[in-house]
Structure 1
Amino acid sequence: MTKKSIIGAFNIKEFGEKKFNNDDVMKIIVKILKRYDIVLCQEVHLSEELIKQLVDKVSTSSIPYSYVSSQPIGRSSYKERYLYLYRSNKWNVLENYAIEKFCNKISRVPYVVRFQNLKKTYIRITLVGCHTHPDNAYDEIKALVNNVYKDIKAKLEKKDRFSFLFNVFYCFGSSCISSNDNEPIIIMGDFNASGSYLNKTKQTELDKILKNNDLMWGIGHSSDTTVASKCNAYDRFVFEIKNKERWIGNTRIFKFDKKLNDKKLSTSVSDHYPIEFELKLDIA
């Protein structure tokens, strides 16, 4: 049986104290979050104390969760946190940071978290969470590819060169942690990449930009990631083509409202569906 971790991204609409105190809504949100080994949450307006309470709600004695969170991010008066919840018995955080150097290009700058698998320490993954501004979706997605991705990739290549030299000069025997020159980088989140925010012409232009950078969409243009009646693929993954087959299994949209049969309750949870993919762990 293939070993895998399920990784998700979920825009939990206006996730603040009011929603947190709604027991019916929170039961559904907690159940959704428990699906994932790692999940990026967006539109988070919770205090640090409420985030800790959320982690407690999601955790059990056998499946503990931890978190890393950005500070409230945004150029305007509207700001939101990026929040990553992760199973602390499976994953460890190596580093996390907001990429402030591109704040002139992206309204809510990306929040990057690099994870390492606890059992297979050579398995590492870099997740780049971003919630683009709907009025500037095309330019911000373009910046995510041409600026943010290239910057992160260059940093990882530098770390990998250092790791290689360390192993050559200082590390002997089987106790050394092997370097992984194909550590996947996943860009993920609500990109507003559809509908009136990103027409077909702009989508086609982005297709070319991704291809020129050896990247691909993980969620297609014809997909539906919204709870609303209209079909729009706002939420996306961007995968590296060279790493797609090696690291990425099934990619899905979790339509949580199908089992609720309660439209009002569904829309109270969010106007977005979570998106998710399987990360393969059977890597030699």
Structure 2
Amino acid sequence: MVNFYNRFILGPARIMRPLFAMISAKSKILAWTEEVNAEFTASKNALDNATLLVHPRSNILTELTVDASATAIGGILVHSVEGQWRPLAFFSHHLHPLKFKYSVFDRNLLALYLAIRHFRYFLEGRLFTDNKPLTHAFAMAKDPCQGLKIAAFNIQRFGQSKVDNHVTLDILIQKHIEQALNLVLSQILQRYDLITVEEVMDADNSAVTDLVKELNLSTKLKYNYIISDYLGRSSYREKYAFLYREDILKPQEWYHYDDGCEQCGTDTFMREPFIVHFHSLTTIVKDFVLAAIHTSPSYAVREVNALYDVWNDARKHFNTENILILGDYNAACHYVTESDWPKIRLRQYKKFHWLIADEVDTTVSINTHCAYDRFVVSTEGLLDTVVPGSVKAFNFQKAFDLPYQTVKGVSDHYPIELELKDDPKLPDTYYKPERYIGISGGISGGPCSCEGVDMSSCAGRCGAYSHSFPCSCTTSCSKHDDCCHDYKDHC
């Protein structure tokens, strides 16, 4: 009876899901559980409270609104009657488990397609969807649903102020806010299954937690995050965060790269990489490692060169070459010039592949054209598992017709993205979400000895600075007349 009257009922696929699951099971015995009984009662109530539908008329405006949850999609066909929208019919469809892993964009696009096909005999008016990115899908030449979507995004100085800024938050996760930008669902972060965020300046992680909560609310999925220690040599410090879909991804192990003794000034990186091993249920390669980096512009050549040591350390630590080094390398324009590339092992060794080309612009500014943000993989690692044509910088200003100043308020970088090939075989189970949001990545560094270190020299100490040091090896030391005597020889 529910099937017969389903066009009068809002969301019958969601209501009937446990009942269909029960009768489609291979067992000949029907297990009448409390959940099944509750949904049976809900089905009867839905029939009792069936919506009064209007009769179709060809001379008034007709619209179709679609939406998608994690497990079902639906649409409502409506008429404009005396200035009010009145329902003509409802459409609902339960998703196959293979489609549970689809991104919000993909599920809404599927909802739009199936709803149009279902109501094609009615649709003679205009089409409405609350997901603006779908309007760009009609111009896409390839199927967007090809793999696990990974991104690296330097959200410039990300902290509580950006979460509290409704316009910025709306763009980041596409939460609908009246009288702001009137954008809904699926803009930047919702495009991805796994996002590396750099330049997080959030002492208690509350901003990242709030961001993930809003992301979960908007997508109807379950995201979580793992976050690094505060990293830096001075009062200016940053964190790395990995936001990931909990149903298909799980962090297995992680660590901060040990680049030397910060107390002595012999460490290599201003912000040492944070490295996480993930297990994926849906990709061909089940285990892979992400190493997040945000280099110091002043020492970009030295730090990008040292990323080879990071790759080698992660390879030994996790016994794999399935490593992706991603983030803001600052490896372009005047920070890393053509004459610098021969000094960089990660560029000179033929086994490494820079997936974001030098001519790509990953910056928002109209005054720059620089490929600061990069992906690097190895031939024996993830190279063959990357979906061809999926690597790019996502220009969200152009994609969503945003004013330049609004985009600058979000970040001075565009996210870079790629996809890892899906496993055609469905996983037997999916991960259950954690009861809490946020995983601490632990503490970086540790006790170290400065014995034998010449604190009056810059040899091996470029970038070293502390009030306790007799002299400095920073790029600004000449302005303060406190450079070590051999600063120019080494730094």
Cα distance change on mapping 1:52 and 1:156 into 2, 3 Å:
same
Q: Specify the alignment match of 1:198 in structure 2.
A: 336
CA shift for structure 1 position 201 = 1.3
Q: Specify the alignment match of 2:209 in structure 1.
A: 52
> Structure 1 CA distance, aligned partners of 2:238 and 2:302?
20
> Structure 2 CA distance, aligned partners of 1:209 and 1:65?
32
Q: Write out per-residue CA displacement over residues 117-140 of structure 1, whole angstroms, 9 at most, x where no aligned residue.
A: 135696011000010000000100
Cα distance change on mapping 1:57 and 1:242 into 2, 3 Å:
same
Name the structure with the higher helix share. 1
Q: Specify the alignment match of 1:35 in structure 2.
A: 191
> Structure 1 CA distance, aligned partners of 2:270 and 2:243?
23
Choose the corresponding residue for 1:150, options 312, 315, 322: 312
SS of the aligned residue for 1:196 comes to coil
CA shift for structure 1 position 211 = 4.1
CA shift for structure 1 position 88 = 0.4
Read off the aligned partner of 1:154 and give its amino acid letter: K
Choose the corresponding residue for 2:167, options 24, 35, 40: 24
In the TM superposition, 1:217-232 aligns within 5 A as 217-229=354-366, 230-232=368-370
Q: Specify the alignment match of 2:325 in structure 1.
A: 187
Cα distance change on mapping 1:34 and 1:8 into 2, 3 Å:
same
Cα distance change on mapping 1:283 and 1:154 into 2, 3 Å:
farther
CA shift for structure 1 position 265 = 0.2
Q: Specify the alignment match of 2:417 in structure 1.
A: 276
SS of the aligned residue for 1:243 comes to coil
CA shift for structure 1 position 63 = 1.5
Q: Write out per-residue CA displacement over residues 194-239 of structure 1, whole angstroms, 9 at most, x where no aligned residue.
A: 1111111113543x64342611111111110000112100000111
Cα distance change on mapping 1:195 and 1:121 into 2, 3 Å:
closer
Read off the aligned partner of 2:370 and give its amino acid letter: N
Choose the corresponding residue for 1:94, options 242, 252, 261: 252
> Structure 1 CA distance, aligned partners of 2:190 and 2:352?
29
Alignment size in residue pairs: 258
CA shift for structure 1 position 28 = 0.6
1:216 aligns with 2:353: yes
What CA RMSD, in Å, does the superposition of the two structures yield over aligned residues? 2.1
1:79 aligns with 2:237: yes
CA shift for structure 1 position 59 = 1.0
Maintained 8 Å contact 2:147/2:419: yes
1:254 aligns with 2:394: yes
Q: Select the structure of larger CA radius of gyration.
A: 2
Q: Which runs of 4+ in 1 moved over 6 A?
A: none
Choose the corresponding residue for 1:64, options 222, 237, 242: 222
> Structure 2 CA distance, aligned partners of 1:264 and 1:119?
38
Maintained 8 Å contact 1:137/1:198: yes
> Structure 2 CA distance, aligned partners of 1:154 and 1:283?
30
SS of the aligned residue for 1:115 comes to strand
Maintained 8 Å contact 2:355/2:375: yes
SS of the aligned residue for 2:154 comes to strand
> Structure 2 CA distance, aligned partners of 1:122 and 1:148?
21
Maintained 8 Å contact 1:3/1:282: no
SS of the aligned residue for 1:261 comes to coil
> Structure 2 CA distance, aligned partners of 1:231 and 1:119?
36
> Structure 2 CA distance, aligned partners of 1:121 and 1:226?
32
> Structure 1 CA distance, aligned partners of 2:298 and 2:226?
28
Q: Specify the alignment match of 2:152 in structure 1.
A: 9
Q: Specify the alignment match of 2:8 in structure 1.
A: none
Name the structure with the higher strand share. 1
Maintained 8 Å contact 2:156/2:199: yes
> Structure 1 CA distance, aligned partners of 2:287 and 2:351?
20
Q: TM-score, normalised by structure 2?
A: 0.50
Cα distance change on mapping 1:108 and 1:185 into 2, 3 Å:
same
Maintained 8 Å contact 2:282/2:422: no
Structure 2 runs not aligned, ≥5 long: 1-142, 174-186, 426-491
Maintained 8 Å contact 2:277/2:288: yes
Cα distance change on mapping 1:203 and 1:211 into 2, 3 Å:
closer
Moved more, 251-260 or 101-110: 101-110
Bigger relative contact order, structure 1 or 2, given CA contacts below 8 A and separation 6+? Answer: 1
